[in-house]
Amino acid sequence: MINIHLQCRYPADSNGGFAPRLDSRRIWCASFFTVIACWLFFGSAKVFSQQAESAEYPVKLAFLYNFTKFVEWPADSYSDPGAPLLMCIVGHDPFNQELEGELRTRTVGDHPVQIRSLKPNDKLSICHIVFVPVTEKEQADRIVKGLKGSRSLTVGESDGFAVSGGIINLTVDGNKVHFEINRIAAERAGLKISSKLLSIARIVKERDPGSKI
């Protein structure tokens, strides 16, 4: 049996820790990420029963879809009102193909979701979301720098991705998925991130380009 855990971060209390009480924000947080994750999982239960694979990447795919609900792209990032929202996976695609197929049946507003696998040297600026898997961590800095000036939401899963200029970084602690947001990078890309999403993220400060991790 696969245990799926989605962990959100909450504002620190007066002592610098996280408040343990079960408040409305925690309830909202659980429903926010779990509903779509469960839709993806139960819609393809046979995938898990047959392969018994880790739930990490199905959960991360659910996160990517959820982010589209709380990020606003500039109108000029779409060629026309019905143009697709393009989600690009750079290099090795770690996601299950059947789940990706189901995600392609979804829409974001009036925009159908398209998923493409691209190479690091391809033109990534055409993508609304650029996911940089850990297998491409050596290329992550170059990819992020190459996308400056674009309207792409960069999402990674490597240490230092967000502080190095990426917008969102997915992290795993034990069997729980967290995420970090670089607000400066989002503003630079012209993206508006909902305050609801920001309130449950770990906000990171962008590192000076001349410094080292």
CA distance 162 to 201: 12
Q: What is the pLDDT along the chain (213 residues), one digit of tens a residue?
A: 233 344 444 333 333 333 333 333 433 443 444 444 544 444 443 333 334 346 788 889 989 999 999 999 998 999 998 999 999 999 999 998 988 998 999 999 999 999 999 999 999 999 999 999 999 999 999 999 999 999 999 999 999 999 999 999 999 887 788 899 999 999 999 999 999 999 999 999 998 765 544
Residue type, 145: K
Tokens of 179: 């995420």
Write down the pTM of the prediction.
0.77
Q: What's the first-to-final CA gap in the chain, in angstroms?
A: 38
